[in-house]
Structure 1
Amino acid sequence: MATIGVTRGLGDHDLKVHDSNIYIKPFLSSAPEVRVYDLSKYEHGADDVLILATDGLWDVLSNEEVAEAISQFLPNCDPDDPHRFVYFHAQDLVMRARGVLKDRGWRISNDRLGSGDDISVYVIPLIHGNKLS
C-alpha cells in the first residue's frame, strides 16, 4: 500500500494508507506464520534446500517459479563450493524478483512488474539435518 514500514506497521495503530483515510492496522498481523519441518524425519540430498525470503520475492514469484529456478541452477554449480547457496542461488533469486529496468519500469518474465519492495533471500541447505538423527 506504499505506506507500511515494518517497525511502524506493527506498532502504529493510527497509520493510514498514503493520501487516504484507510487504516493499515486491519491488514497487518504481528503473529508470524510458523511451520515446523522435522529435519530428522527425512534424508536430504545436496540439492535439497529451504528458501526463506521476504515478501519482495514472494509478491512477484510463485513457489513453483522459485523451485524451478533453483532446480535449473543447482546442477550448474560445483556441489563442493560452500558459497554456492549464498553467492549464486540467493543472488539469482533476488535478481529474478527485481527484474531488469525497461522503459516502463522494472520487469520480470512475461513483462510482469518486478518487485519494488526490499528483497532478502536465504537459501538454506538441508543436508546438514541428516546429522541430527
Structure 2
Amino acid sequence: MSTPAFDPDRELTCPPLYTLNLSAAQRSVLAWMEDHGALFAHIVAPVEEVADGCELSVSTVYDALARLETLRLVLREPGGAARINARYYFTLHPEMREMITAALTAPEIVPDDRARAPRKTGNIAARRRRTIRPVDDD
C-alpha cells in the first residue's frame, strides 16, 4: 500500500471559516487570540481579559473557546495555555504555505567529499596570522 503524496492544500490548510458557521463571538475571540500572538506561541488567555477585550460576557467567551477547541481551531496545552492551529495560519497566508511546501518537497542537501574534508589553510593566510603589524597613531 503506497502512502498518498504530500498535498499542501490538504495538509496545511483548514476549511474556509465561512463553512464552519462561526458566531460573531467566536470570530472575536479568535481575532483577540491572533492579535495577542497565539498564532506563533501558546498564550495564557484569561477569560475575563478576553471578555473585556472583545466586549463579551465571560460565559460567552467560555462557550466560544469551547466551540473553537471542538473545531480544533484553538489547541490547549495541559497547563491551560492556548494556541491557534497552524493550519489556520497557512490558510490565511498562501505564500508561506508555498514556501513550506517547497522546503518539504525539495531534495535533501548532501555534503560531498570536499565538504567533509578538513579545512585547508593556505601559506598566505598562515603567514598573515603569525605577523603582528603595528597600528598607526594618525
The normalised TM-score by structure 2 is 0.24
Task: Look at both structures and tell me which one has the larger radius of gyration over its CA atoms.
Answer: 2
Higher RCO structure, 1 or 2 (CA under 8 Å, sep 6+): 1
Q: Which has the higher helix share?
A: 2
Q: Which has the higher strand share?
A: 1
Structure 1 length-normalised TM: 0.25
